[in-house]
Structure formats: C-alpha cells, structure tokens
C-alpha cells in the first residue's frame, strides 16, 4: 500500500498525505487535485476508492459514421490509445453494409452499462431520438468530435473550420487566384456551414459582393466521386482554385480536373482538409488543412473523464486551429 501511495503521489505531483486523503474520501482536497490523484490511479492501474467509482462498465464507445474517410480511423486510434492509458476499453462502432447503424450500436452500448461514448463526425441525433433520450436520461458521459449537427448543451471538440478556410484563401490569393471555389458537404452539415461562414467573411472583409463568390460555392457528398462530379460546375463558374471540405473531395477534384484535360496545379489549384494519411504521397502531394488529431483526442478524453467523475462540463465547444500544410497541389494562378 505504501509503495502504491508513493507512486501515485509522484505521478500526480502531490504529497502522500494528499493521496491518503483522496483514498479516504476526505472533503478537504480541492476538486482539481482530487482529479489528478484519481487520474494517476487510472493510469497506474490501481483501483479507485469506492466513492470515486461510477458503477459503469469500463467500456467507452467510439462511434464513427464510416471508415472510408481516413481521418475517422486516425481519431479512433488516437482516442483508443488515450483511453487504454486510463484503464478503459475502447469499443469501435461504425456503420456496416448489412445495416448496423449508430442507433443499433448505442442500444447495445447502453445494454452493457457503457461508461461513456465519443461520437466522431456525427452526433447522438444520428443515433435516433429514442437512443439520444436514453443517453441523456441515464446521464451517460458523451463527447462529440466535429459533430455533424448543432448540439446545444453537449460537450464538443471541434476543428476551427472557418479559420481553416480563411487560411487556405489567404494562401491562394497570395498566389494570385481571384476566382476560388468552395466545395463543401451537404446542406445542413454543420462543419460545412462553418467553412461557408469563413469563406463569406473572407470576401466580405475585402468588399467582394456575394453575387461574385456565391456561384463558386458547391455542396456535395463527401466522397471522391462527389469531388470529381463537382468539377464541371466549378470550372463553368470560372474557378482557378478550389478549397475542399475533406481530402477525399480534394482527390476527387484532382481526378475530375484530369478527366477534362487540366493539370493540377498548373491549371487548377486544389486544397483539402484533414491532412489524412498519405496525402503527402499522392500525385501531386496535397496542400491541405491539418486537423490536430492528437490534441483533439486528448481534449475529448479529458472531457469524458471529467464527466465520468461527476463534473458538469461547459457547453461551449472547444475549438482547435488547423495548420495549412502547403504541398504541390497549389501554384500561381494560370495566365
């Protein structure tokens, strides 16, 4: 026991007396200090005191819409590693071709008395009204990463989509581009709406009227095919560069441009979003906005653990700024 207390004290950077107080449920320990000690117990593999346990199973659901978008597996991997360090068991849940949906997974997770759920790129609205109500009624800890819907009151971690678009536009206008397209997801997709907001703000600050830039905004499905299919409309609108809401869309735009005989980036510059795996190895290497996956996953797990310990989290989303990674898919505006 003494060895365990000294290990926890060293890890949490507190005194052994403080660790004993937490283990004994003393009320004189500050909440932030108590959380540090409890987290140290989790990481080191020691049991929490009875007062610090929730009675839930140590299972954490990671719910993603699909595994086709490479950024979803990246988030799942980052979350799984951090959950394992806290002694929790991640359970990956994704739609399948035979009809298993988010609603089915949430129902199964609830039946296992799940300890919490992280939704990536979707929300518990996608899981169905009944399942969403059950999550709220049972006070299941939930965190949303880049939620597809407006979810007031939910704990959310988001990339700063508007700022990412502004960074891409700054880069492209510096290269001389004036007619820049924006290829986003379907109407109602909240991250796409934020990207559109950033696009509009960029041009408004420069006194460019809406009738100039609005025809360059094209909604699409998030797929390579969706990106390729949007190219003719973007070219008719006079685009010499395109900012895309995902790397898959960007790769589709490159494919569609080549089908029309255009060269990327000589004839058309393309910017993606996510910096998914291997985007530096495609032809041409893709200029893209890199999401800080590791930092966002860390924040999501921290927020989940705070809820597990009974803390009420603020409902204001936590925004993380992206980094524009400039590669070979962007160049000066063609003459």
pLDDT of residue 44: 83
Q: How confident is the model at residue 126 (pLDDT cuts 50, 70, 90)?
A: low
pLDDT, tens digit, 9 for 90 and up, residues 150-165: 877 789 999 999 999 9
Residue 53, pLDDT > 60, answer no
**Average pLDDT of the segment spanning 36-55:** 72
pLDDT classification of 51: cutoffs 50, 70, 90: low
What mean pLDDT do residues 319-325 have? 97
14 backbone dihedrals φ, ψ, rounded to 5°? -135, 175
Cα separation values, 209 from 140, 188, 192, 250, 251, Å: 47, 24, 21, 26, 30
Taking residues 120-126, what's their average pLDDT? 78
pLDDT score of 261: 96
pLDDT band at 56 (very low <50, low <70, confident <90, very high): low
pLDDT of residue 316: 82
pLDDT tens track for 192-228:
999 999 999 999 999 999 999 999 999 999 999 999 9
As a whole number, the mean pLDDT across the chain is 89
Going through 162-312 in order, the beta strands assigned E by DSSP cover 180-184, 217-219, 241-244, 269-274, 287-290
Evaluate if residue 134 carries a pLDDT over 90: no
Confidence of residue 127 (pLDDT cuts 50, 70, 90): low
Q: Is the pLDDT of residue 95 over 80?
A: no
Hey, which bits of 34-159 come out as E strands? 59-64, 89-94, 116-120, 142-145, 155-159
* Mean pLDDT along residues 136-158: 87
At residue 101, does pLDDT exceed 80?
no
For the segment 10-16, the average pLDDT, to the nearest whole number, is 91
* pLDDT of 26 above 90: no
Contact indicator for 171, 271 with CB cutoff of 8 Å: yes
How large is the average pLDDT for residues 226-233? 97
Tell me if 143 sits within 8 A of 118, measured CB to CB. Answer: yes
- So what's the pLDDT on residue 119? 93
Which of 88 and 259 is assigned the larger pLDDT? 259
What pTM does this model have?
A: 0.81
Task: Judge contact between 54 and 141, C-beta under 8 A.
Answer: no
Residue 54 above 70 pLDDT? no
Q: 270-306 pLDDT, tens per residue?
A: 999 999 999 999 999 999 999 999 999 999 999 998 8
Question: What share of the chain has pLDDT > 90, as a percent?
Answer: 60
pLDDT of residue 229 exceeding 90: yes
CB 272 within 8 A of CB 247: yes
Q: What pLDDT score does 2 carry?
A: 62
Q: Does residue 269 surpass a pLDDT of 90?
A: yes
Q: Phi/psi class of residue 329: alpha, beta or left (left: φ > 0; alpha: ψ in -120 to 50)? A: alpha
Rg (CA), the chain: 23
Rounded to whole angstroms, how far apart are CA atoms 111 and 94? 17
């Amino acid at each position: 026991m003494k060895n365990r207390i000294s290990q926890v004290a060293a890890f949490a950077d507190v005194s052994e007396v403080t660790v004993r107080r937490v283990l004994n449920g003393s009320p004189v320990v500050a909440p932030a200090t108590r959380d540090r000690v409890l987290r140290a117990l989790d990481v080191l593999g020691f049991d929490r005191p009875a007062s610090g346990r929730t009675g839930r199973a140590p299972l954490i659901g990671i719910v993603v819409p699909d595994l086709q978008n490479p950024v979803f597996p990246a988030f799942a991997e980052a979350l799984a590693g951090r959950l394992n360090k806290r002694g929790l068991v991640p359970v990956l849940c994704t739609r399948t071709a035979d009809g298993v949906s988010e609603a089915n997974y949430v129902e199964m997770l609830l039946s296992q008395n799940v300890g919490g759920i992280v939704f990536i790129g979707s929300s518990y609205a996608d899981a169905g009204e009944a399942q969403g109500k059950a999550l709220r009624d049972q006070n299941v800890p939930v965190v949303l990463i880049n939620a597809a819907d407006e979810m007031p009151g939910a704990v959310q971690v988001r990339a700063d989509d508007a700022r990412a678009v502004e960074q891409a536009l700054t880069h492209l206008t510096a290269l001389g581009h004036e007619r820049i397209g924006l290829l986003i997801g379907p109407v109602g997709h909240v991250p796409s709406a934020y990207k559109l907001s950033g696009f509009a703000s960029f041009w408004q600050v420069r006194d460019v009227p809406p009738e100039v830039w609005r025809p360059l905004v094209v909604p699409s499905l998030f797929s390579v095919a969706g990106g390729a299919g949007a190219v003719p409309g973007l070219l008719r609108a006079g685009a010499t560069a395109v900012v895309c809401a995902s790397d898959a869309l960007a790769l589709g735009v490159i494919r569609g441009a080549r089908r029309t005989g255009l060269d990327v980036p000589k004839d058309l510059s393309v910017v993606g979003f996510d910096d998914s795996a291997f985007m530096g190895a495609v032809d041409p290497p893709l200029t893209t906005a890199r999401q800080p996956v590791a930092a966002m996953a860390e924040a999501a797990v921290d927020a989940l653990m705070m809820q597990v310990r009974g803390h009420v989290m603020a409902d204001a989303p936590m925004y993380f700024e992206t980094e524009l990674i400039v590669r070979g898919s962007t160049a000066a505006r063609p003459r």
